[in-house]
Structure 1
């Protein structure tokens, strides 16, 4: 079956080099390239909320080299109305790409599953955390903080429940699962595991990286005896970057001559970065830098520059995957991962690269890496070799196309 990606218009920028708004952005592009290279892509449906409309609007356009159907709608419209619009957008894309049979839709969120046309097959990858699962571990106050506020958490919970119910009850809905956390949760909610297929994440660091363009940032990195850093799209509750700062300050007190670098949030939004800066003692202020998120190519430039003297840290409280620490590790950067079952990427990291999720635990791990006779550069090289056998663009494509073939065959059997 041909495939049509369905993704939020905000998360599919015109320029592939723009900084990712969320982790799903790069994943979506890899999935699209995979289907395109296999001759199975029928483009992209870009959905966009438009509260002023009373009926859905569909416009065909081109973005990033692909034909797209922009679907504008709002959640107050009738489910049947939105469902017909999705089906129409899919039909127009199939016609534009020359596919005569129905396509399978590939959603990057469960937000639209309740509107999915019943006559079409689809699959979904759940990138974000399930509120229902999150509250099993964290308090109501922490949940509200993580998702913005209590109202936003409740709104998301309601839509996720509708999505889970849709997947559970519709035999034409399948799951492309990149997270064991998500798999276990969905099965616990009654989703048939025969309709779930695992895929390994698509990560392929460039063989040659461009130079780091920000001179101030480059000077800060090059001038560090040891650089301890992290990079995220959003500096939010999930990422727990305060733990990075706390652990680094403790490591400095123990005699580790490190500098701290935080990359995250838009360049214009400095609120969270300033809050982190406030946790740094005045005598260490010159050893701390916080900058806005980088484009993918510049992030890899940072990894390349920091390979000889850097330790990347993932201090997250909860991650359904954790793409960036895997990108750092596969770039040869010594990477430390919080030892929590609620951080999916942890399972790819050897015990020696995990730390107890506390300031003391991180400080101890930094100290051990710094004192290693091998040096952080060699530790990074060994880590890359350990992870590269499991994670690659080739493995992702193999997993995705195998799952796609299985889903297509299963859907055809239901139609026959």
Structure 2
């Protein structure tokens, strides 16, 4: 990478980390702390966990398209301001309903697709996979740090302290956008030429490769939200770990997960076997869910937790890069907006529907449903994964021209 690309990728990875840290910190907490609030139920807790995904999903495509028209930076700053407002409301809430409102407003700052589009805008084609991998790794690190920091902050100041810290992170992210992120080299003419947005939208919604990737990220985040409705309880009941010590468990399993993630990345990038590595990541996630759905045998729970983080972290880092290599720069904001919409729809469905199913089927029944989704994804992805992960952008989507459906 040249100096401009290094500064761009580092600053946007930091920005993405701030935002995802604020979202991820509540994952290991809501199922435990929200249960003490008036009127709490598994259904409402699940809705509080996943509702941000609904507002994210509704706004990712409009904001992705808007960023293609007016530029990435104004959209990102506006999204961070909305994220800060939602975090403040959730921090001041004294009921589950207040947290649901705050989480919904957090999700209205729907800038994930726009940030990834800016990464792609400001890196050359031959450096784009590396850039996406770095941003993806920052998301994984934010996820790791959030699972540790969230319980620590909550043990000191409760759930409200976690939301107030999220406000600070959102404001810090605005500072990064205004002071650190370089100006985009993409010309205003490039944004204007996306006037053929109907063509790009039709392409993004009909291309078989993008459809498979979008379905995959929906399933991945459904599983993530549903899993964190049951994992905290499994730690308490199955492993006898007090909630104040949960961060120690997450620290151990996430750090150890690097022993599985790094070999998969080496096999995909240096070994030239992306299809096999992707399939292995899905198989690992499926095995983890099978172990978590089994009777609560401590050794199997520990192994299942480790494998879960191996599979999730690898797949989360890989999927955005595959999307960015399937479309041109001129329509990348739209395509990544659709991708992020599917991602957050999965988060909403996993939290809201997962809460309902948890009340009816119990933790093991919900884990079995997630296992079925993971196996279905594996069957869906395998036939065309070689074409998607081959590394070259399709000729029809070369820089400077819109893809044709």
Do the structures match in fold with TM over 0.5?
no
The structure whose residues are more often helix, as a share, is: 2
Compare relative contact order (CA 8 Å, sep 6+) and give the higher one, 1 or 2.
2
Question: Quick check: which has more Rg, 1 or 2?
Answer: 1
The structure whose residues are more often strand, as a share, is: 1
Give the TM-score, by structure 1 length.
0.31
Give the TM-score, by structure 2 length.
0.32
